């Protein structure tokens, strides 16, 4: 999947989350993104928006170890992707799975 197409959903998800909260709905928004999207400004802006407005947003980050066009170790100084959520004081759960 193209990183830009994948990334575009994060700000929209935060906005939808704000909308359902505004209307008093008890809804959680779930979104998925690859590791490359975590290095883009839209990702951080959307997470900050969701944190400021206390939006119920769950973001699952899949570390594919290679984002267009770079491997993960060349796109971020973080040893893992978890600190990108911790910086906003989000509850971060790190899970590992191997797909053969």
- Establish whether the linkage from the previous residue to 69 is cis, with ω within 30° of 0: yes
With cut-offs at 50, 70 and 90, classify the pLDDT of residue 83.
low
Q: How far is 28 from 26, CA to CA, in rounded Å? A: 7
What pLDDT, in 10s, does the model give residues 14-55? 999 999 999 999 999 998 888 777 777 888 888 889 888 999
Provide the pLDDT for residue 88: 57
67 has a pLDDT exceeding 50: yes
CA 83 to chain centre: 12
Mean pLDDT of the region 70-89: 66
């Amino acid at each position: 999947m193209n990183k830009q197409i994948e990334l575009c959903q994060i700000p929209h998800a935060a906005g939808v989350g704000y909308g359902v909260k505004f209307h008093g709905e008890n809804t959680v928004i779930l979104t998925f993104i690859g590791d490359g999207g975590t290095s883009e400004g839209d990702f951080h802006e959307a997470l900050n928006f969701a944190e400021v407005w206390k939006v119920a947003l769950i973001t699952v980050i899949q570390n594919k170890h290679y984002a267009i066009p770079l491997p993960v170790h060349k796109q971020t100084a973080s040893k893992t992707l978890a600190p990108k959520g911790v910086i906003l004081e989000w509850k971060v759960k790190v899970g590992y799975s191997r797909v053969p």
